[in-house]
Amino acid sequence: MEQILCIYCGDFFPPSPRHKRRTSCKRPECKRAKKADWQRHKMKTDPIYKSNQKISQKEWARANPGYWRQYRKRNPKKAERNRILQTIRNRKARSSHSVAKMDASVIAKMDASKSNNFKILGQFWLVPVIAKMDALKVNIHTISSHYP
Ligand SMILES: [Zn+2]
């Protein structure tokens, strides 16, 4: 019988006669990933679902006071990553409003000969576009031109 490729773990699994269009295997982590994908899609495409989710999340948070503060304390790395991702989302939302105001003259000012004046130094997070990957903290330093 032909095998189906699980889009989450990359393993093959036998097709089920009842669910011919199945895209994930039976592993709990693949089922969870599939459900998360479905929910992400639903949040983007179904405004009623989205507002119901937000209401029930708020109700849950009210019934479990301090949970998220505790969560951030217990998982400082995840909390930091979420803070960064939220910052990026905020910036994206802001820039999508301001993009219309930006015209060619602004872009034309980016002169290649002046690129040496633009120094990116400090600590940054490399945040992969693929959300399943972890963000990576990087430090960017100048090195002397005499570096071997
Ligand atoms: Zn799988």
Looking at residue 148, its pLDDT comes to 57
How far apart (Å, rounded) are the C-alpha atoms in residues 91 and 97?
Answer: 10
Q: Report the separation in Å between the CA atom of 24 and the middle of ligand 1, taken as the mean of its atom positions.
A: 5
Element (H, E) at 94: helix 76-98
Q: Note down pLDDT in tens along the chain; length 148 residues.
A: 688 999 999 999 998 888 878 889 999 999 999 999 999 999 999 999 999 999 999 999 999 999 999 999 999 999 999 999 998 888 888 877 665 555 444 455 555 555 555 567 777 777 766 556 677 777 777 776 665 5
How far apart (Å, rounded) are the C-alpha atoms in residues 3 and 129?
Answer: 30
Note the pTM of the prediction, 2 decimals.
Answer: 0.50
Q: Report the separation in Å between the CA atom of 107 and the middle of ligand 1, taken as the mean of its atom positions.
A: 45
Looking at residue 117, its pLDDT comes to 54
Q: Report the separation in Å between the CA atom of 36 and the middle of ligand 1, taken as the mean of its atom positions.
A: 14
Q: Report the separation in Å between the CA atom of 12 and the middle of ligand 1, taken as the mean of its atom positions.
A: 8
Q: Is 63 exposed, middle or buried (0-12, 13-18, 19+ CB in 10 A)?
A: exposed
Looking at residue 105, its pLDDT comes to 47
**81 C-beta neighbours (distance < 10 Å), count:** 16
